[in-house]
Amino acid sequence: MTSQLGGRMAYAVWGVALATYFLAIFHRSSLAVAGLAASERFGISASQLATFAMLQLLVYAAMQIPVGLLVDRYGPRAVMLSGVVILTLAQTGFALAESYSVALVSRTFVGMGDAMTWICVLRLVSRWFPPRRVPVFTQLSGTVGQLGAVVAAVPMTVALREVGWTAAYLGTASLGILLALGLVFVVRDAPEGRRVSGPRMSWPGIRTSLTASWAHPGTRLGFWMHFTTQFSATAMALLWGYPFLVQGEGRSATSAGVLLTLIVVAFIYSGPLLGLLIGRHPWHRSSVVLVIVCAIVVVWTAVLAWPGPAPLWLLVLLTQVIGFGGPASMIGFDLARTSNPAERLASATGIINQAGFAASLVLVLSIGLILDWRTPGASTDYSPDAFRWALSAQYVLWGVGLAQIVRYRRRARAVIDRRALESGVPMT
């Protein structure tokens, strides 16, 4: 196989990296349909259940900048291999856990391993494909990777019911062994070498790199775009979608699983569309994000304000608009690419990637706390009214995020306008 940009070797490297990201998404999302089972297995409340996702997201968000720095230093192959080993061991621990504390530790390491995949995929895409094809392959990577959430929905529901908790989670953990072998024997950091390392890291160098990345308004715009678009779909897919649909909307377990799968379906078809759109119209990236966020807010408002359970067509529409939020969040990574030099691309990407997960962390925890506040005693039988209160926490995050997008897109456009006159830098 040739090692040229966009050649057969590029697709082989991308395929193995994408499979690894796919598995990471599966492990991240597998708790979404196991929330009620986890409550029964460990005897925990809603806020304790939310702690699973909270710790996982906290670790994921906190790891983004360190992982970006590690990728810049040691290359994506070594970092991704470490991540898949951690994921495999963590999911094995979660399968065997019989106490809440052991399960918490396991999910913490799931978040750590998960954090070591996506930035690596983005770096490999930027090195193995021509620049004009990077936005499309970035969206395709996110789209195909999100199929892991499909496997974590209906099939995982069936596995938990048919073979039980331990067997279901052990079976998925074993897949990490195969992917580790693929990373060792197939993946190369770049066409010019199996391992491409950066300069040695030092605290002054790290500080300078991160400061320079954050100082650019394009990086900040990407940060707030990622913050505002992702949290609704993540909170639903990761933990609260299934309980909301079953207890808050009165849907059956099967119907809830299908609706959660439809979120990923929206992610799948919207990703390539948005990739083509922003590739052809880079000046309108922030405008596309603003339109998508406003659509999410409008449909969520209709669902929460509906007297009684929302009709099925409205819930389906909800899955589609929040599904667009995932690919929309990836537009922020394109801002990192066009706002930073190659030597600090991974660290800038890490800064942006932590935004949406930090927002998701706040939302997941807020929903759990509000559900417990609105539910008498220690019951886990949450009412539709309790879910309306809990899910209204999204409006605070939307308000903050939209205000910051508008603020920094003005600043980013001013910088890009000035540089475009001088050197033709891609527009925001």
**Would you kindly state where each structural domain of the chain is located, as residue ranges?**
8-186+206-423
Per-residue pLDDT reduced to its tens digit, 303-344? 999 998 999 999 999 999 999 998 899 888 888 877 777 777
Residue with tokens 């009620």: 36
Residue with tokens 């190659």: 342
What's the confidence (pLDDT) of residue 420?
A: 56
Band of pLDDT at residue 2, cut at 50, 70 and 90: very low
Per-residue pLDDT reduced to its tens digit, 142-180? 878 777 766 666 777 777 788 888 888 888 888 899 999
Per-residue pLDDT reduced to its tens digit, 412-426? 877 766 665 555 544
* Residue 383 backbone class (left: φ over 0; alpha: ψ -120 to 50; beta: rest): beta
Nearest to residue 297, comparing CAs of 408, 399, 403? 399
3-state secondary structure of 248: helix
User: Using an 8 Å Cβ cutoff, are 112 and 63 in contact?
Assistant: yes
Band of pLDDT at residue 206, cut at 50, 70 and 90: confident
Per-residue pLDDT for 349 more than 50? yes
* Residue 308 backbone class (left: φ over 0; alpha: ψ -120 to 50; beta: rest): left
Q: How far is Cα of residue 315 from the mean position of the Cα atoms in its chain?
A: 22
Dihedral, CA of residue 42, residue 392, residue 242 and residue 274, to nearest 10? -130
In this structure, how many other beta carbons lie within 10 angstroms of the beta carbon of residue 349?
A: 31
* 193 phi/psi in degrees, rounded to 5: 180, 155
CATH of domain 8-186+206-423: 1.20.1250.20
Q: How many CA atoms lie within 13 A of 95 on its CB side?
A: 20
